[in-house]
Amino acid sequence: MSRLAYVNGRYLPHGQAVVHIEDRGYQFADGVYEVCAVLGGCLIDRDFHLERLERSLAALAIPKPMSRAALLVVLGEVVRRNHIVDGLLYLQVTRGVAKRDHLVPAGLRPALVVTARRIDLAALDAKAARGIAVKTLAEIRWRRRDIKAIGLLPNVMAKQEAHAAGAAEAWFVDDDGLVTEGASTNAWIVNAGGQLVTRALSHAILAGVTRRALLGTAADLGLAVVERAFTPAEAMAAREAFITSATAFVTPVIRIDESPVGDGRPGPIAMRLRLAYLEQARAGRGAHANHA
């Protein structure tokens, strides 16, 4: 079965899906994106993703490529035509095609690309059951990390550096010595009192959709959450640590740099949250009712 991609109004075979060389996304990383999990053929937290997409577009004054209703049709078609049961949907909106000039010309038509691929849920579950290591690195990104912009070079570099050190994720540490977030995930710890701690929303981090939904899951499980920043030292001394994203769901962290977290095994609270999160997501319950 061949993969299809949506490119500016057309569904094309993946290998023939191309954009113009003067697309501003290509030249300036002038665009935004979303990654949305698909479970059982449903887009998880669809409305949260669309809300964030609209916020990112508005922050950069890129017009919406189409109405929310029309976009939902396209997203559904890409999932359906690719026969995705469990997978990931990627959507990217760039400012459009124009002669290379930093100044944005008037009247540009935004470009929309949507792709989807399958994921191996069993492999992701196995990874979570093992837990991952993270490596702390200096925060070198720009100051509008709340915008889900496609310019991800620092994130790519950080992920590479973490990988070279045997870690699956990098945690950025800002000039105040506080963890901002991961290269492609939000960062959490469980403190000695059993409270979940994750950095409060601001321009410093991406407002993760999984983070948002998990706040609901935590409330459903009666777990207290404190939204504040923490240092790597606090995380290393924490009972548990974990990351969240549309691709990792909830994945336990068992080592930060050279320090094991807790007893060096995935924590029970993180694993409980993962299970509850996935169960609610699949059923469209709790905070996930927005994808039903």
Minimum CB separation of residue 189 from ligand PDD in Å reads 16
- State yes or no: residue 92 binds ligand PDD (CB under 6 A): no
Q: How many CB atoms lie within 10 A of CB 135?
A: 22
- State yes or no: residue 290 binds ligand PDD (CB under 6 A): no
- Which of 225, 233, 181 has the alpha carbon at shortest distance from 204? 181
Minimum CB separation of residue 211 from ligand PDD in Å reads 6
Q: Judged by CB, which is closer to ligand PDD: 196, or 206?
A: 206
Q: Which of 82, 245, 251, 290 binds ligand PDD (CB under 6 A)?
A: 245
In angstroms, the CA 68 to CA 55 distance is: 13
Answer for the pair 198, 229: CB distance below 8 angstroms, yes or no: no
Q: Judged by CB, which is closer to ligand PDD: 91, or 98?
A: 91
Contacts with ligand PDD, 6-35, as mask; x by CB under 6 A? -----------------------------x
Interface stretch with ligand PDD, choices 23-31, 111-119, 208-216, 217-225 (CB under 6 A): 208-216
- State yes or no: residue 246 binds ligand PDD (CB under 6 A): yes
In angstroms, the CA 6 to CA 14 distance is: 9
- State yes or no: residue 206 binds ligand PDD (CB under 6 A): yes
- State yes or no: residue 217 binds ligand PDD (CB under 6 A): no
3 state DSSP class of 251? strand
Answer for the pair 65, 112: CB distance below 8 angstroms, yes or no: yes
Interface stretch with ligand PDD, choices 22-30, 94-102, 156-164, 178-186 (CB under 6 A): 178-186
- Which of 189, 261, 281, 195 has the alpha carbon at shortest distance from 229? 189
Bin 68: left if φ > 0, else alpha if -120 < ψ < 50, else beta: alpha
209-220 burial, b if ≥16 CB within 10 A, otherwise e?
bbbbbbbbbbee
Say which residue the tokens 């995935």 belong to: 266
Q: Judged by CB, which is closer to ligand PDD: 97, or 149?
A: 149
| Rg of the chain taking only CA atoms, in angstroms | 19
Interface stretch with ligand PDD, choices 110-118, 162-170, 238-246, 254-262 (CB under 6 A): 238-246
Instruction: Tell how many helices (H) and how many strands (E) occur in the chain.
Output: 8, 15
Minimum CB separation of residue 179 from ligand PDD in Å reads 12
In angstroms, the CA 34 to CA 215 distance is: 20
159 is catalytic: no
Say which residue the tokens 């499980």 belong to: 221
- State yes or no: residue 210 binds ligand PDD (CB under 6 A): yes
Positions 50 through 69 that interact with ligand PDD (CB under 6 A): none
- State yes or no: residue 244 binds ligand PDD (CB under 6 A): yes
Contacts with ligand PDD, 179-198, as mask; x by CB under 6 A? --x--xxx------------
Alpha carbon 223 to its chain centroid, in Å, reads 23
Catalytic residues: 148
List interacting residues with ligand PDD (CB under 6 A).
35, 181, 184-186, 206, 208-211, 244-247
